[in-house]
Structure 1
Amino acid sequence: MFAVVATDGELTSKNIKEECVREKWISIVSYKNNNKTTIPVFFNEKDVISFFKRNLPKNWIKGSVNLTELEIDWMLKKGWQIEEMRFAKKNR
């Protein structure tokens, strides 16, 4: 499963290297769905790219990350929802 990585325009490439790598965290896209944190995930990177082209500003740093089962389990234990997307729909 692949998640969308994005910085919301606040982090620079330098910040990512200095903070995220050092502190071992990454900024993935989430949204609220019925008041629950929801993480959209995709089966391939092509759909991730389509998603961020449709939904994220061009000036944001963005990419994808391959999530392990352990990472998905960790998110589920936090009470987050995982939305498996088969295509890159437009989120509103």
Structure 2
Amino acid sequence: MWIIGVNGGKYIGGNIRQLVKRRCPNARWVMDPFHVVQWMNDALDAVRCEEWNAARAAARAARPRPEGKRGRPAKGELPPEEVRALEEEAASIKGSRYAL
């Protein structure tokens, strides 16, 4: 046997790999491009979601006052322009598929 095909082999663990290496030491592992791209997109999506959640948390932390409260910001609060910039950053990450 020269080639071992892995069709979306998430279920192929170390035991099967060890068995194949023992029984077919000269065989090459090959994977179909579709699943490789799928795994890359899943990894990219996970990173994008983490970044979006972090940006959203930063925007929420920057706005300690309830929405719509009038008046001058309390001492130590970020100015509304900076809060708005953080919220826009979070929205831009959420809306883009390949922001990273």
Say whether the fold is shared (TM-score over 0.5).
Answer: no
Which has the larger strand fraction? 1
Q: Highest Rg: 1 or 2? A: 2
The normalised TM-score by structure 1 is 0.23
Higher relative contact order (CA 8 A, sep 6+): 1
Which has the larger helix fraction? 2
The normalised TM-score by structure 2 is 0.22
